[in-house]
Amino acid sequence: MAVKVLAIVLAGGEGKRLMPLTADRAKPGVPFGGIYRMIDFVLSNLANAGYLKIVVLTQYKSHSLDRHISKTWRMSTLLGNYVTPVPAQQRLGPRWFAGSADAIYQSLNLINDESPDYVIVFGADHIYRMDPKQMVNDHIASGAAVTVAGIRQPLSLADQFGVIDVGPDGKKIKAFREKPKDATGLPDSPDEVYASMGNYVFTTRALCEAVTLDAQNPDSKHDMGGNIIPMLVERGEANVYDFRDNDVPGATDRDRGYWRDVGTLDSFYEAHMDLIATLPIFNLYNHDWPIFTNYGSWPPAKFVHGYDDRQGRAIDSMISPGVVVSGALVERSVISPNVRVNSWAHVDGAVIMEGVSVGRRAVIRNAIIDKNVVIPEGAQIGVDLDRDRKLYTVSDNGVVVIGKGQRVEL
């Protein structure tokens, strides 16, 4: 008989480092790649692998995320499949989730109701393709209590990640450390370390016992990576899964093994730039492993005017349905649905979200513009960063970010 698997997606993070994009929405609900939300990537990975019983644990500013899940992620109830958002239920008292491990502890009833053999616990805010079934099969074969997905990173960058130290066999985890300064390389590659991807597969009994024991520890931060995994590592019951071994159908040599944690404004922006190359670093056009979403009933994109310097065109860009580029130039940009870019405007290196209007002769460079912002005629964004810092958010790398519905000054 096929093993029973329940997937739990952790979607409760505040996403403070993505402000102002997270001012009105949870981090997994932030739009990405024109027509998607961040959470669509993990849900698509699970659905493509055939795991169709999925619980999404939410907490902060979850309305936009809940609405997206309810409109987009409808499974066949006839077959008992579902994707359901679950807020903090306060089953154990009047309190929210105290951490990712506490979120699962407070939701043990969901696991007990489903009675799975194994539980997948994945994060909701990473951009990547992965076949979780291959990781589950590896976990079952190992006999471990937990398997942690690890991605190889240069040893020199170890102090930027949660690092998985492994034993001589390259599989059993001997230590799980946060941003170590003295990391050592892998047995088969001394110049690399395993960085934790925040994706775990548990044997159900081990997970339930671990989060229950953790809940009784008043000194714990009740975090999956910070407390639960080290607990099982200490018992010698944790293995690593090498993301390099994951073979996703349709992957190209260029985008195989891509994974990005878009936890900052700069990483969010850079991940968008990864989409638009001729041979993209992350390929949204893999039809063998699609990213599913629902972007409404927008008409096709339209480009109008084509004489002298008033030509509607886009170069090295992704243009979503409902967009009108009217006598303007769009370069190296990702444009979301229902955006209008008016005559003689120039958009270069920008992420433009739904419902934005770019006025005539406006200039936008190296910027993220959130939903429903009106850029007045002749406005300049990203041209004078000293001025922009007084009015908007500017990232460490000089990306100008304008929040949802924010007023733009001339």
User: Which domains are seen in the chain, by residue range?
Assistant: 5-272 (3.90.550.10), 297-402 (2.160.10.10)
- Residue whose pair of structure tokens reads 């939300």 in the numeric block: 37
Q: Which of 75 and 283 is assigned the larger pLDDT? A: 283
Q: Quick: pLDDT tens for 101-138.
A: 888 998 899 999 999 999 999 999 899 999 999 999 99
Q: How far apart are CA 262 and CA 17, in angstroms?
A: 10
Confidence of residue 89 (pLDDT cuts 50, 70, 90): low
Q: What's the mean pLDDT in 328-354?
A: 97
Cβ atoms of 192 and 184 closer than 8 Å: no
Q: Quick: pLDDT tens for 162-217.
A: 899 999 888 999 998 888 888 888 998 999 999 999 999 999 999 999 999 998 88
pLDDT of residue 339: 97
Q: Does residue 340 register a pLDDT over 90?
A: yes
Cβ atoms of 311 and 253 closer than 8 Å: no
Cα dihedral 85, 65, 275, 288 sign: positive
pLDDT of residue 96: 65
pLDDT of residue 295: 83
Any known ligand binding at 179?
A: yes
Any known ligand binding at 196?
A: yes
Cβ atoms of 6 and 121 closer than 8 Å: no
Convert 139-187 into a string of H (helix), E (strand) and C (coil). HHHHCCCEEEEEEEEEHHHHHHCEEEEECCCCCEEEEEEECCCCCCCEC
pLDDT of residue 1: 60
pLDDT of residue 92: 61
DSSP 18: G
Q: What's the pTM value of the predicted model, to 2 decimals?
A: 0.94
pLDDT of residue 177: 87
Q: How far is CA 97 from CA 89, 252, 277, 296, in A?
A: 9, 39, 40, 33
19: tokens are 């402000």
pLDDT of residue 32: 96
User: Phi, psi (5° rounding) for residue 26?
Assistant: -70, 150
Report the mean per-residue pLDDT for the chain. Answer: 92
pLDDT of residue 2: 80
Per-residue DSSP letters for 227-292? IIHHHHHHTT-EEEEEGGG---TT--TTTTT-EEE--SHHHHHHHHHTTSSSS-SS-TT-TTSPPP
Cβ atoms of 63 and 74 closer than 8 Å: no
Q: Quick: pLDDT tens for 289-305.
A: 999 998 888 999 999 99
**Which residues are 80's β-sheet partners?**
none
